[in-house]
Amino acid sequence: MPTDFAATKALFDLPEGVIYLDGNSLGPLPKAVPERLARAVRDEWGAMLIRGWNEAGWMEMPSRIGDRVARLIGAEPGSVVMGDTLSVKVWQALASALEMVPGRKVILSDTGNFPSDLYIADGLVRTLGEGYALRTVAPEAVAGAIDDSVAVVMVTETDYRTGRRHDMAELARIAHQKGALLVWDLAHSAGAFPVELARDGADFAVGCTYKYLNSGPGGPAFIYVAPRHQARARPALSGWMGHEAPFAFDLDYRPGRGIERMRVGTPPILALAALDAALDVWEGVDMQDLRAASLALQDQFIAGVGAACADLALATPRDHAARGSQVSFRHPEGYAIMQALIARGVIGDFRAPDILRFGFTPLYIDRDDVARAVETLAEIMRGRVWDRPEYHRRARVT
């Protein structure tokens, strides 16, 4: 039975009159979240108090929910754990991976990576000191740049600006051939299309949940460590929750079993409760159906905008295999155009210097939404509506 996307759409609480094409930045509110969160607050924290750690299963949430996320990214059970932010998880993955390739000191990444990943890698190599370096090449040059100085290849599968997608299985193959490990950032992949970490030979992977997994602003991140690496990966952020026996309160650290060692501090229970409820949306969703429907929506948008807005230059590859679940256009007045769109209820976002981004997911976007979005954008372009001064005021967060 094919996935019923009218049914999943009904699971979201979308404001009247809004077409939300920014789930690639922050997913909308699943209807199940408010009540689940209220229960976690009143019936668990409020009523159970400290006993919630045992009675409400708080302590197991990072790995229990990790297994729910694992199913969506083709990961083995027991290989994903939740916690912290994506930036912290990138640091953890890089620090562990670097130590597993002795004699090499280079992290290789690309200029299409999300800047925070590059900042984190830069911070890590500065901490490690002499000889350690971050090398950054153009996205299309990554595979060719993996030489025998490279310990770790760190790439974000989907470019946050253009939506261009790396061939991760191929990168993993080449990295392994050259003796390097791969850290795979799934920020714009998890929940956006089928990901097959186990099949494609991933070593480490990290991701966030507040985009296509709809966990809410600043929701918990996740980390994946391939089962073959888990026993050998030293958790460089060795907090008590990653200890083999946190409640023994030993003075010495002993890494926990398997993926548990990648836990750091006390888990964020309220945020995990919101995420847990948000993941219910995925029951009954087939990832192949999701991909087919997402591509159909994207193609409809590309064709519609192409026909009606000659001034907008497509920044996303047309080849299905070479893109994720977002479509981007370039225009020198991109910021003001996006403000005009948002003022008319079509929400996408802008990335400097000239990118208009639109995220697509059939979970809550349908063909009618896309048609209306195209129409609204066409009106703005036809009337040069973006010229109005109110659309040129800059907010702190773009």
Measured CA to CA, the distance from residue 82 to residue 265 in angstroms comes to 11
Residues 18-47: x/- map of binding to a copy of itself (CB under 8 A)?
x-x-x--xx-xx---xx--xx--xx-xxxx
Q: Is residue 360 annotated as a catalytic residue, yes or no?
A: no
C-alpha distance from residue 133 to each of 102, 130, 152, 177, 388 (Å)? 14, 8, 11, 21, 46
Q: Is residue 357 annotated as a catalytic residue, yes or no?
A: yes
Q: Catalytic pick from 20, 357, 369, 391? A: 357
Residues 156-195: x/- map of binding to a copy of itself (CB under 8 A)?
----------------------------------------
Q: Binding to a copy of itself (CB under 8 A): which residues in 91-130? A: 91, 95, 111, 114-116, 118-120, 122-124, 126-129
Tell whether residue 86 is among the known ligand binding residues: yes
Nearer to a copy of itself, 128 or 308 (CB): 128
Does residue 349 touch a copy of itself according to CB under 8 A? Answer: yes
Binding region for a copy of itself (CB under 8 A) out of 197-205, 214-222, 284-292, 300-308: 214-222
Q: Is residue 178 annotated as a catalytic residue, yes or no?
A: no
Strand residues in the chain grouped as ranges (E): 19-20, 80-82, 106-110, 133-137, 150-156, 181-185, 204-207, 222-225, 313-314, 326-330, 346-347, 349-351, 355-359
Nearer to a copy of itself, 250 or 387 (CB): 250
Measured CA to CA, the distance from residue 340 to residue 227 in angstroms comes to 48
DSSP-H helix ranges across 40-186? 47-48, 52-55, 61-72, 86-99, 115-128, 142-145, 168-177
Tell whether residue 356 is among the known ligand binding residues: no
Does residue 352 touch a copy of itself according to CB under 8 A? Answer: yes
Q: Catalytic pick from 110, 159, 185, 369? A: 185
Does residue 318 touch a copy of itself according to CB under 8 A? Answer: no
- In this structure, how many other beta carbons lie within 10 angstroms of the beta carbon of residue 112? 20
Report the DSSP beta bridge partners of residue 181.
152
Nearer to a copy of itself, 236 or 308 (CB): 236
Q: Catalytic pick from 5, 12, 20, 210? A: 210
Amino acid at 97: A
Does residue 51 touch a copy of itself according to CB under 8 A? Answer: yes
C-alpha distance from residue 215 to each of 8, 13, 23, 119, 186 (Å)? 15, 13, 11, 25, 15
Tell whether residue 87 is among the known ligand binding residues: yes
Does residue 393 touch a copy of itself according to CB under 8 A? Answer: no
Amino acid at 350: F
Does residue 252 touch a copy of itself according to CB under 8 A? Answer: yes
DSSP 190-213: TTTS---TTTTT-SEEEE-SSSTT
- CA angle, 330 then 331 then 337, to 5°: 115
Annotated binding site for pyridoxal 5'-phosphate: 86-87, 114-117, 156, 185, 188, 210, 240, 266
Annotated catalytic residues are 114, 185, 210-211, 357
Annotated binding site: 86-87, 114-117, 156, 185, 188, 210, 240, 266
